[in-house]
Amino acid sequence: MTDTILPPDSCTTMLEVRAGVDQTDRELMALLDRRFGYMRAAARIKPDRETVRDEGRKAAVISAAVSDASARNLPGKAIGDLWERLVEASIAYETEEWDRLRG
């Protein structure tokens, strides 16, 4: 398999579509790795465990994702649901890291 994938609108076979999806999933995983790296940094920087959960920040992040989804003509509700889970997973990970660093 080559590293070159076709843009979605240029795909004419399911093999091309699947190659694009698989490559996109690898790229998403790399981005998630970076995002969770920022959670590790936050756990290291935040002085108090109580500051790990910030409901205002959570709401702003999810709202921004939904707005961006709408601007891209993507399903806002589905993106909002994904981001809710992503942010909750990030908070849980950051909390675990905070505890690990100070344990």
Residue 38 per-residue DSSP state: H
Q: Is 27 annotated as a binding residue?
A: no
Q: Is 94 annotated as a binding residue?
A: yes
Contact 64, 93 (CB under 8 A): no
| Distance (Å, whole) CA 96 – CA 43 | 9
CA torsion sign for 64, 27, 29, 22 is positive
* Helices 14-45, 76-102: crossing angle, 10 deg rounding: 40
Q: Is 57 annotated as a binding residue?
A: no
Helix (H/G/I), strand (E/B), else coil: 2: coil
Which residues sit in the known binding site for substrate?
18, 35, 46, 94
Which residues sit in the known binding site?
18, 35, 46, 94
